[in-house]
Every structure is written in C-alpha cells, then in structure tokens.
Amino acid sequence: MVAHQKNRISDELWESMERPAKLVKEYPLSSMLLMFGLGMGVGVILSQPLAAALSEVVSEPGTTEKMKRQVYDALSHVLSPSMLRQLKDYTA
C-alpha cells in the first residue's frame, strides 16, 4: 500500500511538472509575452529601491535645475530685481 501511494505521488509530481511544458508548447507566443512582462515588472520593482539609494548618494543638480539656473541668469540681465524675485517665488 505504501509503494502504491509513493507511485501515485510520483505520478502526480511528474504530471504537475509536464503540465506547464505542454502549455508552453501549445501557446509559445503567449508564454513568451507573459515571461517578458513578468521580467519587466520584477525589474521595475527591484530598480526602484536601487535608484532611490543612488539618487541620495549623487547630489548633482538635475537637468531641470541646470536649465532653471541658466534661465534665471539670462533673465537677471533683463528683468528688474523685484520681478526676478517674483519669478523665483512663483516657480519655487
């Protein structure tokens, strides 16, 4: 009886391992797209903490900050100081 139960468990194990292989053979494109999507999702989830940690280490101003400084510098030669202050208050 124990040997029969082991055989049944073994058969169920093999069947459960063969079922995904059959599905991949039947639907190769769907399987590939599913795995690609899962990989992208896992990549995005894992990259978020890494990107956050790296952004704290790097203290360089971004492209937006650099451009904002260039615009302020250019406008400081044209606008009055009070208008420049208002512009800074408006964009802050």
pLDDT, block means (10 residues), the chain with 92 residues = 68 84 92 94 87 70 82 82 79 67
Of the candidates 70, 62, 72, 75, which has an alpha carbon nearest to the alpha carbon of residue 92? 72
Distance, CA of 31 to CA of 22 (rounded, Å): 11
Same domain (yes/no): 77, 47: no
88 lies in the same domain as 49: no
**Owning domain of residue 76:** 60-92
10 and 48 both lie in a single domain = yes
Assess whether 49 and 78 both reside in one domain: no
Specify the pLDDT at position 53: 75
Q: How many domains does the chain have?
A: 2
What one-letter code names the amino acid at 48?
Q
| Whether residue 55 is found in the same domain as residue 67 | no
pLDDT at 21: 87
Instruction: Report the b/e string of 39-75 with b at 16+ CB within 10 A.
Output: eeeeeeeeeeeeeeeeeeeeeeeeeeeeeeeeeeeee
Note whether 20 and 49 are same-domain residues.
Answer: yes
Say if residue 39 is in the same domain as residue 66: no
7 and 29 in a single domain? The answer is yes
Is there a single domain that holds both residue 40 and residue 68? no
